[in-house]
Structure 1
Amino acid sequence: RTPATTTEFFARLGVVHYFDDIDVGGQSVDQSSEVAGFGLNWTNRISDRLRFVSRNTLNKQREPDYAQGFQGAATGDYLRWSTDQAVGYRWSERLGTYTGVRYEDVSYDDLDGFARSSVTFYNDVRYQLSPQTVATFTYRLNEVDGGLESDSTNSYFLVGLEHRFSPNTLGVVKAGVQNRDVDRGGEGSSPYVEASLRSQINEQFAISSYIRYGVEDYARRIVLGGIGALPFEGSEALRLGLTGTYGLSEELSMNVGVNYVSLGYVDSLLAGFPDLDEESLNLSVGFRLELSDTMWLNGSYNFETLSSDIGSIREYDRNRINLGINTTF
Structure 2
Amino acid sequence: MKGETILKKYYYIINEAAGNGRAKQTWEKIKRLLDNYNIQYQSYFSKYPSHPEVIAKEIAQSVPGKIAAIIAVGGDGTIHEVINGLKEYSNVKFGFIPTGSGNDFARGFLIPRDPEKALEFILSFDEQLPRIDVGSYHLNHNQEKSLFINNLGVGFDAEVSLEANKSRIKKWLNRIGIGSLTYVAALLEKAITFRPSDVMLTIDDREHHFPNVWFITISNQAYYGGGMKISPSAIPIDGLLNITVVHQLSKLKLLLVFISVFFGKHTKLKEVRTLTGKKITITSKEPMKVHADGEIVGESPVDIEVLPSYMHIYSKIWQ
- TM-score range for the pair, normalised by the shorter chain length: under 0.3
Q: Which has the larger radius of gyration?
A: 1
Structure with greater strand percent:
1
Q: What is the TM-score when the length of structure 1 is the normalising length?
A: 0.23
Structure with greater helix percent:
2
Work out which structure has the larger RCO, using CA pairs closer than 8 Å and 6 or more positions apart in sequence.
Answer: 2
Q: What is the TM-score when the length of structure 2 is the normalising length?
A: 0.24
